[in-house]
């Protein structure tokens, strides 16, 4: 009896019998397939053994930088200067920047303004004599050059105003009282006490009553 598959299709062009329905073909492994499989398996193993972790440029095969501490990987950050406590370009910039000048500890005080009443020019007062300033009721004498004395021009007797400075004395016109140009002491007349002293000062060539 002739098989059904040979009756329907006959033989194939290659001389091999055709397989019928439900028949299974068992492919034979070829040399090319074997080599390809071996190559893929080796490539997969090589890829599995590779690590994707970053390794320093100067590390050895074990991934360790020679001279570094064991188990510590060097970082790519900026290295800090020894003992400075700062790192990066900012540290060098701050180190080279000049120090700000310290503020002055004390502000110079201004000289106190001279207060008082200007009586007149010192050049108007003769040496060995004096001048009476009636409005201010003050008499200023110059017993010796550059030495000035100030006294009240009101007589201590009855309150008259002095009228003249001459011959080393300050003279009252009322009752003949006379006072020394050096101290204001009584020289003659009824005055019971010397003339009170007045505070004066010569500033820029001017006599000032303080």
* 42-72 residue pLDDT tens: 555 555 555 555 656 566 666 666 655 554 4
Q: What is the rounded CA–CA span in Å between residue 149 and residue 199?
A: 8
- CATH assignment of the domain containing 184: 2.102.10.10
Does the residue 174 lie in any domain? Answer: yes
What spatial distance separates the first Cα and last Cα of the chain, rounded to whole Å? Answer: 162
Q: What is the rounded CA–CA span in Å between residue 153 and residue 171?
A: 10
Does the residue 99 lie in any domain? Answer: no
Instruction: Please tell me the total count of domains within the chain.
Output: 1
Q: Which domain range does residue 167 map to?
A: 124-209
Does the residue 32 lie in any domain? Answer: no
Q: What is the pTM of this model?
A: 0.47
Beta strands in the chain (DSSP E): 117-121, 129-133, 138-144, 147-152, 164-166, 169-171, 178-180, 186-188, 200-203, 206-209
Does the residue 202 lie in any domain? Answer: yes
Q: Indicate the range of 96-100, 161-165, 173-177 predicted with least confidence.
A: 96-100
Q: What angle do CA 21, 23, 29 make, to 5 degrees?
A: 135
90 neighbors 80 (Cβ within 8 angstroms): no
Does the residue 40 lie in any domain? Answer: no
Does the residue 141 lie in any domain? Answer: yes
DSSP 82: T
Does the residue 196 lie in any domain? Answer: yes
Does the residue 187 lie in any domain? Answer: yes
Q: For 1-41, how does the pLDDT look when each residue is reduced to its tens digit (9 = 90+)?
A: 444 444 444 444 444 444 444 444 555 556 665 566 656 65
How many CB atoms are located within 10 Å of the residue 12 CB? 10
116 neighbors 201 (Cβ within 8 angstroms): yes
Q: Bigger pLDDT: 68 or 187?
A: 187
């Amino acid at each position: 009896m002739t098989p059904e598959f040979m009756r329907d299709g006959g033989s194939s062009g290659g001389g091999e019998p055709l397989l019928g329905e439900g028949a299974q073909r068992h492919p034979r492994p070829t040399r090319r397939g074997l080599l390809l499989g071996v190559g893929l398996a080796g490539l997969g193993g090589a890829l599995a053994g590779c690590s994707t972790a970053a390794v320093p440029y100067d590390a050895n095969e074990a991934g360790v930088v020679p001279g570094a501490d064991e188990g510590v990987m060097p970082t790519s950050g900026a290295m800090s200067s020894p003992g400075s406590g700062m790192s990066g370009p900012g540290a060098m910039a701050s180190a080279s920047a000049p120090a700000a000048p310290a503020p002055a500890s004390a502000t110079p005080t201004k000289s106190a303004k001279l207060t008082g009443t200007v009586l007149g020019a010192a050049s108007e007062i003769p040496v060995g004599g004096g001048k009476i300033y009636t409005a201010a009721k003050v008499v200023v004498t110059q017993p010796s050059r550059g030495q000035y004395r100030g006294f009240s021009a009101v007589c201590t007797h009855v309150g008259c105003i002095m009228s003249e400075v001459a011959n080393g004395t300050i003279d009252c016109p009322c009752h003949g009282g006379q006072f020394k140009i050096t101290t204001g002491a009584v020289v003659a007349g009824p005055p019971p006490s010397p003339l009170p002293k007045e505070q004066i000062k010569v500033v820029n060539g001017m006599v000032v009553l303080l």
